[in-house]
Copies of this chain bind each other. A is one copy, B any other.
Amino acid sequence: MNPRLLALLLLFLPAAWASAAIAPTHPRLLLTPDGVTALRQNLGRAPLFDAALAEAKAQVDRALAAPLEVPVPRDAAGYTHERHKQNYTEMQLAGLLYQVTRDAKYARFVRDLLERYAQLYPTLGAHPAGRGQAPGRLFWQTLNEAVWLVHVSQAYDCIYDTLSPDERARYETALLRPMARFLSEERMQEFDRIHNHGTWAATAVGMIGYALGDEELVQKALLGSKRDGQAGYFRQMDELFSPDGYYCEGPYYARYALMPFILFAQVIENNDPGQQVFARRQQILRQAVYATLQQTSPQGAFLPFNDSLKDKDIRSDEVVLAVDVVYSRYGRDPRLLSIAQRQGSVFLGGPGLEVAQALAANPTPPAFPFASVEFKDGPDGRAGGVGLLRATPAADAALVLMKYSAFGMEHGHYDKLAVMYYDQGREIIPDYGAARFLNVDQKFGGRYLPENNSFAKQTIAHNTVTVDERSNYGGSFKTAEEAHAERVFFSAQDPAFQVMSALDRTAYPGVLMHRTVALVRDAKLPQPVVVDVFRLRASAAHRYDLPYYYAGQFLETNVALTPHVTSRPVLGAKHGYQHLWVAAEGQATGPVRFTWMNQQRYYTLTMAADATARVALVQVGANDPSFNLRNENAVLLRQDGRGDHVFAAVLEPHGHWDGVRERTYGGRPTIQEVRVLAASAEGTAVRITGPGGLEWTLLIAAAETVAGAHRLTVGGETFSWEGAVALRKR
Q: Shortest beta-carbon distance, A260 to chain B, in Å?
A: 15
B570:A566 contact, CB within 8 angstroms: yes
Name the residue on B nearest A578 (C-beta).
Answer: B566
Tell which of A212-220, A410-418, A551-559 binds the partner: A551-559
**A631: Cβ under 8 A from any B Cβ:** yes
B442:A565 contact, CB within 8 angstroms: no
Q: In chain A, residues 596-621, which have Cβ atoms closer than 8 Å to a Cβ of chain B?
A: 597, 617, 619
A567:B565 contact, CB within 8 angstroms: no
With known contacts A439-B662, A442-B667, A566–B623 Cβ distance under 8 A: yes
Q: Which residues of B contact A631 (CB under 8 A)?
A: 619, 631
Q: In chain A, residues 643-700, which have Cβ atoms closer than 8 Å to a Cβ of chain B?
A: 657, 659-665, 667-668
**A486: Cβ under 8 A from any B Cβ:** no
Q: Shortest beta-carbon distance, A554 to chain B, in Å?
A: 5
Q: How far is the CA of A440 from the CA of B598 in the complex (A)?
A: 12
Number of interface residues of A (CB under 8 A): 52
Q: Which residues of B contact A554 (CB under 8 A)?
A: 627
A660:B597 contact, CB within 8 angstroms: no
Q: Which residues of B contact A626 (CB under 8 A)?
A: 563
**A315: Cβ under 8 A from any B Cβ:** yes
Tell which of A275-283, A306-314, A365-373, A401-409 binds the partner: A306-314
B617:A627 contact, CB within 8 angstroms: yes
B568:A440 contact, CB within 8 angstroms: no
**A625: Cβ under 8 A from any B Cβ:** yes
**A316: Cβ under 8 A from any B Cβ:** yes
Q: How far is the CA of A87 from the CA of B313 in the complex (A)?
A: 45
**A187: Cβ under 8 A from any B Cβ:** no
From B313, B567, B595, B662, contact of A442 by CB (8 A): B595
B565:A311 contact, CB within 8 angstroms: no
Q: Which residues of B contact A617 (CB under 8 A)?
A: 627
Q: Which residues of B contact A78 (CB under 8 A)?
A: 667
Interface residues as binary, A305-343 with B (CB distance below 8 Å gives 1, 0 otherwise): 000010111011100000000000000000000000000
Interface residues as binary, A433-462 with B (CB distance below 8 Å gives 1, 0 otherwise): 000011111110000000000000000000
B622:A565 contact, CB within 8 angstroms: yes
Q: How far is the CA of A549 from the CA of B570 in the complex (A)?
A: 26
Q: Which residues of B contact A667 (CB under 8 A)?
A: 78, 440-442
B553:A437 contact, CB within 8 angstroms: yes
**A583: Cβ under 8 A from any B Cβ:** yes
A659:B311 contact, CB within 8 angstroms: yes
From B312, B437, B441, B624, contact of A565 by CB (8 A): B624
**A82: Cβ under 8 A from any B Cβ:** yes
**A14: Cβ under 8 A from any B Cβ:** no
Q: Which residues of B contact A439 (CB under 8 A)?
A: 657, 659, 662-664
Q: Which residues of B contact A583 (CB under 8 A)?
A: 627
Name the residue on B nearest A343 (C-beta).
Answer: B660
Name the residue on B nearest A595 (C-beta).
Answer: B442
A82:B627 contact, CB within 8 angstroms: no
Q: Which residues of B contact A663 (CB under 8 A)?
A: 82, 85, 439
Q: How far is the CA of A626 from the CA of B556 in the complex (A)?
A: 8
**A122: Cβ under 8 A from any B Cβ:** no
**A363: Cβ under 8 A from any B Cβ:** no
**A641: Cβ under 8 A from any B Cβ:** no
Q: Which residues of B contact A24 (CB under 8 A)?
A: none
A440:B569 contact, CB within 8 angstroms: no
A659:B438 contact, CB within 8 angstroms: yes
A82:B660 contact, CB within 8 angstroms: no
Q: Which residues of B contact A440 (CB under 8 A)?
A: 555, 597, 657, 664, 667
Q: How far is the CA of A312 from the CA of B657 in the complex (A)?
A: 12
Task: Identify 9 residue pairs between A and B in the complex whose beta-carbon atoms are under 8 Å apart, listed by A's number.
Answer: A82-B663, A312-B660, A438-B662, A439-B662, A440-B667, A442-B595, A553-B627, A563-B625, A584-B625
Q: Which residues of A are in contact with B by a Cβ distance under 8 Å?
A: 78, 82, 85, 309, 311-313, 315-317, 437-443, 553-556, 563, 565-570, 583-584, 595, 597, 617, 619, 622-627, 630-631, 657, 659-665, 667-668
Across the A-B interface, the 9 shortest Cβ-Cβ residue pairs = A311-B659, A442-B555, A563-B625, A442-B556, A439-B664, A565-B623, A554-B627, A567-B567, A315-B660
